Structure 1
Amino acid sequence: MSEIQSSSLRERKKAQTRLAIRREAFRLFDEQGYANTTVEQIAEAAEVSPRTFYRYFKIKEALLISDDHSSPIVRAFVDAPAELSVVAAYRHAMEQVFGGLSADERVNAIAGQQMLYQVPEARGLIYTEYIRLIGLLTDALAERLGPDTEEFERRVTAGAIVGVLIAISDDNPLPQSELSEALKILDARLS
């Protein structure tokens, strides 16, 4: 087995473990409530140790925020065809990542996003995640637009894209077609 195949297998196993932990956590949250479910119960249900749980999720609330989408979307955004406008490149990246989700990954993403809006302790995480995404996009825009573009301009552009995400995604998990349409509107207005 080559190093690339080994790495790929390792990455798939990590993704499967992460998905299993989240799936069991969401099942327990539904049965017992978020506040009444412990990390130990989640780890036991997912057949991992609490230590393994903490390798994947630093805190229980992190189960609800999934970087499974943000980072790949930002990477695909940077790699999108150069002739696309900034907003069209983001839409392209979002459609590429969401379109590549398996049925299990889609169900898991929707469950996590629904809980973000239902669990009072998690509401602040949404804001934190959007601010983090603005930072990631601001940095990605330096690659996409070139390093001479001022950070302030990149941050404003990133904020406009994230503003659309906030407007469309609020209590509406994984709204792929609505987001795509909203980004088309933003792109048309900015052009």
Structure 2
Amino acid sequence: MTSSPGEPTGLRERKKARTRAAIQRHALRLFHEQGYSATTVDQIAAAAEISPSTFFRYFPTKEATVLYDPFDPVLIEAALAQPPELSPIDALRATMDFIREQIPAEEWEGERQRQLLVFREPELRSAVLDKFAEGIDLLAGYAAQRTGRPADDFAARNWAGAVVGVVMAAFVGAAADPEADPLVVVDQAVAHLEAGLPL
């Protein structure tokens, strides 16, 4: 894969996407090296060789550099492209394999570190709840499209809420394991949901 996840095709948009990715990459490196709380926006901007005002054109806050997930649109697009005979959950699981094969290992390791950071930092764990609400909207739209239902379908939203719930629970558990692979964790969570959440 030669382009970044969800990278736009227009030159200007590609440049903006690369700048956003570079800012996030430097931010995550600094958070890893010196801690989230100890890292400032000025330090991130300096590392990315931009001004603080440029930083704020891309991210409204420091926490946004961690919460921004460039893989969500890629995942949904790939899941929608799966064979129509697959159920929405089977299509999501097939997409996990596709993502693992297509995303370069270095990019995926950065994403894994980002996701683990979200669930380890108390400040970020509270902020991520809003992101999960967005995730319900995203997955409900995906489920509705896969099944030919209206975008606001009750069953599609309930399904999306269940998927987000098991994924969130799995991520919280995986945050204690520095070797955890988010794709494996997500696949296990979704498989458990598909099996009816047996105890």
For structure 1, the residue ranges without an aligned partner over 5 or more in a row are 1-5
For structure 2, the residue ranges without an aligned partner over 5 or more in a row are 1-7, 175-179
**Match for 1:127 among 109, 126, 129?**
129
Q: Is the helix fraction higher in 1 or 2?
A: 1
Could you tell me how far 1:155 is from its partner in structure 2?
Answer: 0.8
Q: Which amino acid aligns with 1:177?
A: V
Kept in 2, the 8 Å contact 1:169–1:175? The answer is yes
1:57–1:174: structure 2 CA closer, same or farther, 3 Å change rule?
A: farther
- Name the CA distance, whole Å, in 2 between partners of 1:117 and 1:184: 22
- Name the CA distance, whole Å, in 2 between partners of 1:165 and 1:179: 6
Could you tell me how far 1:125 is from its partner in structure 2?
Answer: 2.1
Could you tell me how far 1:85 is from its partner in structure 2?
Answer: 0.6
Deviations 1:24-72 (A, max 9, x none): 2123223443223221211111112223322332211011113212222
Give the structure 1 partner of residue 160 of structure 2: 158
Secondary structure of 2:114 counterpart: helix
Give the structure 2 partner of residue 69 of structure 1: 71
Kept in 1, the 8 Å contact 2:59–2:65? The answer is yes
Number of positions where the alignment pairs a residue of Structure 1 with one of Structure 2: 185
User: Is 2:189 the partner of 1:182?
Assistant: yes
Q: Which amino acid aligns with 2:106?
A: D
Could you tell me how far 1:12 is from its partner in structure 2?
Answer: 5.1
1:106–1:62: structure 2 CA closer, same or farther, 3 Å change rule?
A: same
Give the structure 2 partner of residue 170 of structure 1: 172
Kept in 2, the 8 Å contact 1:77–1:92? The answer is yes
Give the structure 2 partner of residue 19 of structure 1: 21
TM-score by length of 2: 0.78
Q: Which amino acid aligns with 1:66?
A: Y
Give the structure 2 partner of residue 54 of structure 1: 56
- Name the CA distance, whole Å, in 2 between partners of 1:125 and 1:97: 26
Kept in 1, the 8 Å contact 2:79–2:91? The answer is yes
TM-score by length of 1: 0.81
| CA-based RMSD | 2.6
- Name the CA distance, whole Å, in 2 between partners of 1:128 and 1:150: 19
Kept in 1, the 8 Å contact 2:112–2:182? The answer is no
Give the % identical residues: 40
Give the structure 2 partner of residue 87 of structure 1: 89
Kept in 2, the 8 Å contact 1:19–1:108? The answer is no
